[in-house]
Chain A
Amino acid sequence: MAEQKTVTFIITRQDSPDSAPYQETFHVPYRKNMNVISGLMEIQKNPVTANGQKTSPVHWEMNCLEEVCGACSMVINGTARQSCATLVDELEQPIRLEPMSTFPVVRDLIVDRERMFDALKRIKAWIPIDGTYDLGPGPRMPEKKRQWAYELSKCMTCGVCLEACPNVNDKSDFIGPAFLSLPRLYNAHPTGEMNKGERLDALMEDGGITGCGNSQNCVQVCPKGIPLTTSIAAMNRETSIHAFRNFFGSDHA
Chain B
Amino acid sequence: MAEHREFMYRRLHSLLGVVPIGIFLIQHLVVNHFAVYGEESFNKAANFMDNLPFKLVLETVIIYLPILFHAILGVYIVFTARNNVNRYGFLRNWLFFVQRITGIITLVFIAWHVWQTRIQIALGAELNFGMMEDILTNPFMFWFYIVGVISTVFHFSNGLWGFLVSWGFAQSPKSQKIITYATLVVFIVVSYIGVRTLITFAYGI
Residues of chain A having any CB pair with chain B under 8 Å: 78-79, 164, 166-167, 169, 171-172, 201, 204-210, 212-217, 220-221, 227, 229-230, 233-241, 243, 246-247
Contacts and interface: CB of A to CB of B under 8 A. Distances in A.
A213, A216, A217, A246 — most chain B CB neighbours (10 Å) = A213
Interface residues on B, range: 35 or more
A230 B96 contact: no
Contact of A214 (B4, B7, B80, B166): B166
Interface stretch (B39-47, B105-113, B168-176): B168-176
Interface stretch (B17-25, B86-94, B114-122, B125-133): B86-94
B97, B162, B171, B173 — most chain A CB neighbours (10 Å) = B171
A62 B3 CA distance: 39
B171 A230 contact: yes
Contact of B4 (A204, A216, A233, A235): A204
A220 B88 contact: yes
Contacts of A201: 4
A229 B173 contact: yes
Contacts of B90: 215-217, 220
A236 B7 CA distance: 11
Contacts of B172: 230
Interface in B1-40: 1, 3-11
A10 to B, nearest CB: 16
A239 B11 CA distance: 10
B48 interface: no
Contacts of B169: 237
B95 to A, nearest CB: 8
